[in-house]
Structure 1
Amino acid sequence: MAESVETAPAAAPDESTAQEQGPSAYVYGIVPADVQVSDDARGVGSPPAPVRLVPHGEIGALVSEIAIDRPLGTPDDLMAHQQLLDATAAEVPLLPLRFGAVMTSLEAVADELLAPHHDEFLAALDELEGRAEFVVKGRYDERTLLREVLSESPEAAQLRDEIKGKPEDATRNARIQLGELVSQAVSAKREADTENILDRLAPLSVLTVVRDPSHEEDAVHLALLVERDRQDDVREAVDEYSQQWEGRIGLRLLGPLAAYDFVLTAGQEGG
């Protein structure tokens, strides 16, 4: 499903071709056709371009016009893309497209994107009705983490004592060995802590995804697809763990967000 949503960024033509073709269509995501787009909704571009809906049947695409000879990828563009999708997903079902999806015209959006995949997109939107993505991120406190590892591993503690106060060159092998022990210990802790909080959050969620760590000190990185009427339950559960892990793991709950982690699996709950 999601693979067919993603369209490749258009290659920039020469100036004369761009003038003949006119502006292209930057596509943000797929929504139900009855979604009302605010007059002040803005997307990528400098100045930010107005966002409109291109409808087809029971679905539509959120788009804005963009000159394809203009480079994409500035921090402002990325932020505009993310903010528009997250704000939309907080209110209505949304299939988000990855940053940089450009089609040759508004007509191409309807004819080449929406029409061939109308039924697939509509079914996926139905699955996301009343649901949004939340992300739980947790990072270990570095000092607390090291104390835990050293207290639980006599071998690591011994290596730490051997290294202490000695030149790096003289203790290179010991430092490498200690680093490997710490890394293995952190991986084991991450797995245990993730399983711990997932046991609490999974019953409150429709679907869950364990994300890969984005930092060596990441403790938890989860994506949750949540019914909107259970958002408060999820926040309460994360608050409980924030208190339980205070001084050890700093937890954050992000959302509601566009359901990037679930556009492939929204129709496969029973699989």
Structure 2
Amino acid sequence: MAGTGTLIYGFVPGDVEPTGSAQGIGDPPADVDTVTYDDVAALVSEVSLDRPLGRSADLRAYQRLLDGTATVSPVLPVRFGTVLTDRDAVRDLLADQHDRIVPMLGRLGGQVQHMVHGRYVEATILAEILDSSPEARQLQERLRGQPEDAFVDARMRLGEIINNSIEAVRDADMQFAVERLKPVTEDIVLREPTHEFDAVNLAVLVDRQRHDEFDRALRELAGTWERRVTLRRLGPSAPYDFVAQLVPEQ
């Protein structure tokens, strides 16, 4: 038999106790409790070792537990899928990492992460590019009404101009968004675009007591970019983008 191990979700202050509704990874969902060392604790559950972790349901359970915890307590997410042999090993890890965990928990007290994602309205950004690039306008006119397989070199050049222009505009818009949101956030991480028409992709750390200010700044930014960028916010969540790796590869 493969046996079981102790899966770690994240680190929290030592006085945190999971509620009865806290559920972890498993089918049925595992009970979650804590292993404590001094003034810090780890959120853990028992997990069977007879199958690898990584199903989408596993990741959702991991995120659901950490995101729910982040709304009421500082939490430091631990790399998904971190499994130790038993609770004594978890306690040893807490002792080893204690002097790193404590200041990070102090820094993140009362703060949650939000994702700010914006995507260009395709017709609007393409019109901007054509207005600013005579070469792109000429190429578009040349290609208008032509078959898809005609003038391949011209199509490639037009695509190159559009891609380079979007990258330049995106860089400027990312900095603009950062300047607008910086006064109402604790920290901001610039993330890579996930789509060719992405305008902004930011992870922001927000103090829960300043949520209304952050919301207001985000609405103002969305108003500035009306009909140009579709802006949305995801969160609150645990501060995944603001926590340094605490657990080495097992």
> Can you list the C-alpha shifts for 1:215-262, whole angstroms capped at 9, x where unaligned?
111101111122221111111111112222222111112222111211
Partner of 2:134: 154
Alignment counterpart, residue 34 of structure 2, candidates 47, 53, 60: 53
The alpha carbon displacement at 1:115 in A equals 1.1
Alignment counterpart, residue 63 of structure 1, candidates 30, 35, 44: 44
- What is the letter of the counterpart of residue 61 of structure 1? A
Alignment counterpart, residue 113 of structure 2, candidates 100, 109, 133: 133
Aligned partners of 1:78, 1:175: CA distance in 2, in Å? 41
The reply on whether 1:83 has 2:51 as its aligned counterpart is no
Report the 3-state secondary structure (helix = DSSP H, G, I; strand = E; otherwise coil) of the residue aligned with 2:58. Answer: helix
Partner of 1:43: 24
Counterparts of 1:99-118 in structure 2, within 5 Å, are: 99-111=80-92, 113-118=93-98
Aligned partners of 1:107, 1:261: CA distance in 2, in Å? 28
The number of residues matched between the two structures is 245
The alpha carbon displacement at 1:98 in A equals 2.2
Alignment counterpart, residue 174 of structure 1, candidates 128, 139, 154: 154
Report the 3-state secondary structure (helix = DSSP H, G, I; strand = E; otherwise coil) of the residue aligned with 2:151. Answer: helix
Aligned partners of 2:52, 2:26: CA distance in 1, in Å? 9
Alignment counterpart, residue 227 of structure 1, candidates 203, 207, 229: 207
The alpha carbon displacement at 1:199 in A equals 0.9
Partner of 1:212: 192
Partner of 1:120: 100
Aligned partners of 1:205, 1:243: CA distance in 2, in Å? 19
Report the 3-state secondary structure (helix = DSSP H, G, I; strand = E; otherwise coil) of the residue aligned with 1:115. Answer: helix
Report the 3-state secondary structure (helix = DSSP H, G, I; strand = E; otherwise coil) of the residue aligned with 1:135. Answer: strand
- What is the letter of the counterpart of residue 47 of structure 1? P
Question: Are 2:129 and 2:165, in contact at CA under 8 Å, matched by a contact in 1?
Answer: yes
Question: Are 2:114 and 2:206, in contact at CA under 8 Å, matched by a contact in 1?
Answer: yes
> Can you list the C-alpha shifts for 1:56-105, whole angstroms capped at 9, x where unaligned?
11000001100111231111111111111111112111110121111111
Partner of 1:26: 7
Greater CA drift, 247-256 or 58-67: 247-256
Partner of 2:177: 197
Question: Are 1:27 and 1:97, in contact at CA under 8 Å, matched by a contact in 2?
Answer: yes
Structure 1: gaps spanning 5 or more residues = 1-14, 266-271
Question: Are 1:205 and 1:227, in contact at CA under 8 Å, matched by a contact in 2?
Answer: yes
Partner of 2:248: none
Report the 3-state secondary structure (helix = DSSP H, G, I; strand = E; otherwise coil) of the residue aligned with 1:216. Answer: coil
Aligned partners of 1:261, 1:219: CA distance in 2, in Å? 19
Question: Are 1:235 and 1:253, in contact at CA under 8 Å, matched by a contact in 2?
Answer: no
Aligned partners of 2:243, 2:58: CA distance in 1, in Å? 22
Partner of 2:122: 142
Percent identity, please: 47
The Cα RMSD (Å) is 1.4
The reply on whether 1:260 has 2:240 as its aligned counterpart is yes
Moved over 4 A (4+): none
Aligned partners of 2:175, 2:211: CA distance in 1, in Å? 20
Partner of 1:4: none
Report the 3-state secondary structure (helix = DSSP H, G, I; strand = E; otherwise coil) of the residue aligned with 1:235. Answer: helix
Report the 3-state secondary structure (helix = DSSP H, G, I; strand = E; otherwise coil) of the residue aligned with 1:151. Answer: helix
- What is the letter of the counterpart of residue 243 of structure 2? V
Question: Are 2:5 and 2:48, in contact at CA under 8 Å, matched by a contact in 1?
Answer: yes
> Can you list the C-alpha shifts for 1:158-178, whole angstroms capped at 9, x where unaligned?
111111222333311011100
Aligned partners of 2:80, 2:152: CA distance in 1, in Å? 44
